[in-house]
Amino acid sequence: MGTFIAKRLVRLVGTLLAVSFLTFLLVNLLPGDAINALIPIDAQQDREFVEQIREEWGLNDPMLVRYGRWLGDAVQGDFGDSIVTSRTVSSEIFHRLPVTAELMLVTVGLSVMLAIPLGVMAAYREGTRLDQVISGIAQVFLSIPGFVAGLLFIYVFAMKLGWLPATGWNRLSNGLLDNLRTVILPALSLALIEIAVYTRVVRSDVMNTLQEDFVLSARAKGLSDRYILFRHCLRPSSLTLITVVGLNIGTLLGGTVVVEFLFAMPGLGKRLLDAIFQRDFMMIQGITVFVATIYVLVNTAVDLIYMLVDPRIRKAD
């Protein structure tokens, strides 16, 4: 088990290095000179001034040297300065992260809470009308992207009914209720696809578990169906769910960009978009690496949790 963890951690470091290098490569090799973002084009007539700025920002060094310097700073939590606002990239990330983190937590929590009962019920009533209805709804949800769902919710709940604000964000420090009022619609928009995916996973897993001998023996003992479903079946069936949640974090992180844009939320995704529109290379680089790092970390954590929960995998190594 120790070697397994060690191997996994070595791979993690390798992946993170590769991810950061690829991002650096992308940002630096592709057309578009960072100098254009630093100095307006018409001010670039002054060659001496341009050279001075280039020297100051270290743009003249070979790429590997710049990567090394950037990486050295990055592992200490310094992603450089935004070339537009001249605030540090890490302070911007730190400032924006809670919004995105809350959005994702609420989305995943909401989805799991809805998907487990739906999936279990569909599996229990496999082939019946109820199963067909649940699976049908999941199929529809799977086809509704966050921005379509978001617009629909804004139209119905904000414009027509006036129950919730259409855009904006209330920090948690402004009170829990006010905060929840601004997070619920964005989270729900993202949740539709997640609910569909999780429901399908839970359904097929519980269906498989229901075939197992221990379920039969529990039935023979006369335990109630509800007890068997939630006590005996759910735990072995939840492993795949954990993995799928982990894998889907990637799509979800992408989804937060769109939803934060639509609902004008001051999150990480919105900041990335702003950086993209301003061509703020340092910021794009920092946020991209940060987001990819989170994604890689989550998936490593899922692998490790998987191993802790399921003893068979521990032995296999």
Binding residues for other proteins (CB under 8 A)? 14-15, 18-19, 22-23, 26-27, 30-32, 139-140, 142-148, 151-152, 154-155, 159, 249-251, 253-255, 257-258, 261-262, 272-273, 276, 279, 284, 288, 291-292, 295-296
Shortest gap between Cβ of 262 and other proteins (angstroms)?
8
Nearer to other proteins, 4 or 223 (CB): 4
Shortest gap between Cβ of 279 and other proteins (angstroms)?
7
Shortest gap between Cβ of 229 and other proteins (angstroms)?
25
Shortest gap between Cβ of 204 and other proteins (angstroms)?
12
Shortest gap between Cβ of 290 and other proteins (angstroms)?
10
Nearer to other proteins, 207 or 291 (CB): 291
Shortest gap between Cβ of 72 and other proteins (angstroms)?
21
Instruction: Go through the chain and tell me how many residues it has.
Output: 317
Nearer to other proteins, 15 or 44 (CB): 15
Is residue 119 a contact partner of residue 199, using CB atoms and an 8 Å limit?
yes
Shortest gap between Cβ of 128 and other proteins (angstroms)?
18
Nearer to other proteins, 16 or 309 (CB): 16
Nearer to other proteins, 250 or 266 (CB): 250
Tokens for 202, please give them. 């839970």
Nearer to other proteins, 30 or 41 (CB): 30
Q: Could you give the dihedral angle defined by the CA atoms of residues 213, 219, 220 and 224, in that order, rounded to the nearest 10 degrees? A: 160
Nearer to other proteins, 192 or 218 (CB): 192
